[in-house]
């Protein structure tokens, strides 16, 4: 897997924290890119963070990437985790 992040992008911090939980259970290559770099070939606008799976598929929602890493780490998600992810997406990442 390859995780694309960019400095200063709010969604990258929780994704990096979630990736830390999955350390040792999956090999994740972390690549720092510019916020204007187009990582996902079928998106018309640049988007980070992005997780490219070994299958070639992409996850480009911060919440989806975090949930994926939580599943890999064996951490059972509860309502509080989901509430935190939704709060982070709606309050910290307003466009």
Domain positions in the chain are: 1-92
Predicted TM-score (pTM) of this structure = 0.82
CATH class, domain 1-92, is alpha beta
Q: Which burial class, exposed, middle or buried, applies to 24 when counting CB atoms under 10 A from its CB (0-12, 13-18, 19+)? A: exposed
- Assign 49 a pLDDT band (cuts: 50, 70, 90): very high
C-alpha distances in Å from residue 93, one per residue of 42, 45, 65, 79, 80: 22, 16, 15, 20, 19
- Assign 58 a pLDDT band (cuts: 50, 70, 90): very high
Both tokens assigned to 63: 């919440």
């Amino acid at each position: 897997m390859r995780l694309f992040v960019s400095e200063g992008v709010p969604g990258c911090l929780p994704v990096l924290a979630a990736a830390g939980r999955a350390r040792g259970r999956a090999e994740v290559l972390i690549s720092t890119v510019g916020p204007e770099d187009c990582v996902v070939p079928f998106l018309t606008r640049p988007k980070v963070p992005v997780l490219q799976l070994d299958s070639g598929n992409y996850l480009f929602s911060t919440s989806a990437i975090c949930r994926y890493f939580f599943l890999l780490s064996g951490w059972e998600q509860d309502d509080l985790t989901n509430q935190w992810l939704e709060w982070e997406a709606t309050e910290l990442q307003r466009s």
